[in-house]
């Protein structure tokens, strides 16, 4: 299941805060990842989840520092994921070693992957910050992942930052963090959130000019009428 081009484009513009509000109206309370932050401050990310699951490492299996690119699920995932997908890693929130690094991010970027989200740590973060590739993590740790993590499978349901992520869910990131939108509601949520953001921008402008929050935020009927009239006048400006 994929979004329309219009919905995908709208998700590039909306805030994660407004997304959580629209999801809440549909009954989804747990949609924003905890403790997962952008590595670059002005980040934006939209794509479809490609999930990768790690479990705790065990010394007899994970002492290899030479990763097998044909067998290691982390490495196979990197070569399997496609354009417009987001690699979302379940690292159990464990930041006592990295979960991914700079060369692997570079490979994802070259393949047209939309971004990377992990609830573990990243290594090489100074170099990752230089890439034009949206990356979100819980922290930084210089040690390679196999010391702590055993990649076990990919494209299965996972938890990341305390939120369920199903393969194909829509992942949206801004400089606040990451929201997971279940794919079956993503089209509706994209359009509604775009409208909410437009209204909130207008309301914030009114408050900045001195309007009381009473009657403005949330908007009462007369404020909504004023907003609709303003929107109509804007459309007329666009199409004379
Ligand atoms: O060894 C790792 O954990 C991965 C790494 O450093 C990189 O991709 O640059
Ligand atoms: Mg490295």
CB 183 within 8 A of CB 91: no
Please indicate, yes or no, if residue 23 is contained in any of the structural domains. no
Residue 73 and residue 112 share a domain: yes
Residue 122 and residue 47 share a domain: yes
Residue 156 and residue 232 share a domain: no
d(C-alpha 126, C-alpha 112), whole Å: 21
Exposure string for 54-85, b = 16+ CB within 10 A, e = fewer: beebeeeebeeeeeeeeebbbbbbbeebeeeb
Sort strands 135-137 and 115-118 into parallel, antiparallel or unpaired.
parallel
Tell me: ipTM over 0.95.
yes
Tell me, in angstroms, the distance from the centre of ligand 2 to residue 14's CA.
33
| Contacts of residue 238, Cβ cutoff 8 Å, sequence gap at least 6 | none
Q: Is 123 labeled as ligand-binding?
A: yes
Q: Which atom of ligand 1 is nearest to the CA of 102?
A: 9
DSSP 175: S
pLDDT for res 239: 67
d(C-alpha 145, C-alpha 25), whole Å: 39
Parent domain of 108: 29-181
DSSP for 21-90, written as a single string: HHHHHTT----B-TT-EESSTT--EEEEEEEEEEEE--HHHH---S--TTT-HHHHHHHH--TTEEEEEE
Residue 215 and residue 114 share a domain: no
Q: Which atom of ligand 1 is nearest to the CA of 145?
A: 3
Q: Which atom of ligand 1 is nearest to the CA of 104?
A: 8
Tell me, in angstroms, the distance from the centre of ligand 2 to residue 49's CA.
24
Decide whether any atom of ligand 1 lies within 6 Å of the 123 Cβ.
Answer: yes
List the chain pLDDT tens, one digit each, 240 residues: 899 999 999 999 999 999 999 999 999 999 999 999 999 877 899 999 999 999 999 988 877 667 889 999 999 999 999 999 999 999 999 999 999 999 999 999 999 999 999 999 999 999 999 999 999 999 999 999 999 999 999 999 999 999 999 999 999 999 999 999 999 999 999 999 999 999 999 999 999 999 999 999 999 999 999 999 999 998 887 766
Please indicate, yes or no, if residue 7 is contained in any of the structural domains. no
Residue 216 and residue 176 share a domain: no
Chain centre distance of CA 144: 24
Residue 209 and residue 117 share a domain: no
Tokens of 203: 């309301």
pLDDT for res 240: 60
Decide whether any atom of ligand 1 lies within 6 Å of the 103 Cβ.
Answer: yes
Q: What is the pTM of this model?
A: 0.95
Burial of 29 (0-12, 13-18, 19+ CB in 10 A): exposed
Chain centre distance of CA 79: 21
Mutate to test the pocket of ligand 1, among 102, 109, 141 (most ligand atoms within 8 A of CB): 102
pLDDT for res 39: 95
Ion ligand 2 nearby residues (CB, 5 A): 101-102, 124
Decide whether any atom of ligand 1 lies within 6 Å of the 141 Cβ.
Answer: no
pLDDT for res 79: 98
Specify the residue for token string 């991010």: 105
- Residue 155: asked if its preceding bond is cis (omega within 30°), the reply is no
């Amino acid at each position: 299941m994929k979004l329309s081009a219009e919905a995908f484009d709208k998700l590039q513009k909306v805030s994660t805060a407004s997304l959580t509000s629209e999801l809440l109206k549909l009954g989804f309370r747990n949609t924003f990842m905890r403790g997962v932050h952008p590595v670059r401050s002005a980040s934006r990310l939209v794509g479809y989840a490609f999930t990768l699951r790690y479990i705790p490492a065990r010394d007899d299996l994970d002492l290899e520092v030479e990763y097998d690119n044909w067998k290691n699920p982390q490495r196979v995932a990197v070569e399997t994921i496609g354009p417009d997908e987001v690699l979302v890693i379940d690292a159990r929130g464990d930041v006592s070693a990295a979960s991914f690094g700079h060369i692997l991010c570079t490979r994802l970027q070259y393949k047209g992957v939309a971004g990377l989200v992990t609830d573990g740590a990243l290594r090489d973060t100074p170099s990752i910050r230089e890439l034009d590739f949206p990356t979100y993590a819980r922290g930084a740790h210089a040690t390679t992942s196999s010391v702590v993590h055993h990649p076990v499978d990919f494209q299965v349901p996972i938890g990341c930052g305390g939120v369920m992520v199903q393969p194909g869910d829509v992942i949206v990131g801004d400089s606040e963090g990451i929201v997971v939108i279940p794919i079956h509601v993503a089209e509706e949520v994209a359009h509604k959130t775009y409208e909410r953001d437009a209204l909130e921008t207008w309301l914030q402008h009114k408050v900045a000019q001195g309007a009381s929050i009473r009657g403005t935020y949330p908007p009462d009927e007369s404020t909504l009428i004023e907003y609709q009239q303003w929107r109509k006048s804007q459309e007329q400006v666009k199409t004379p």
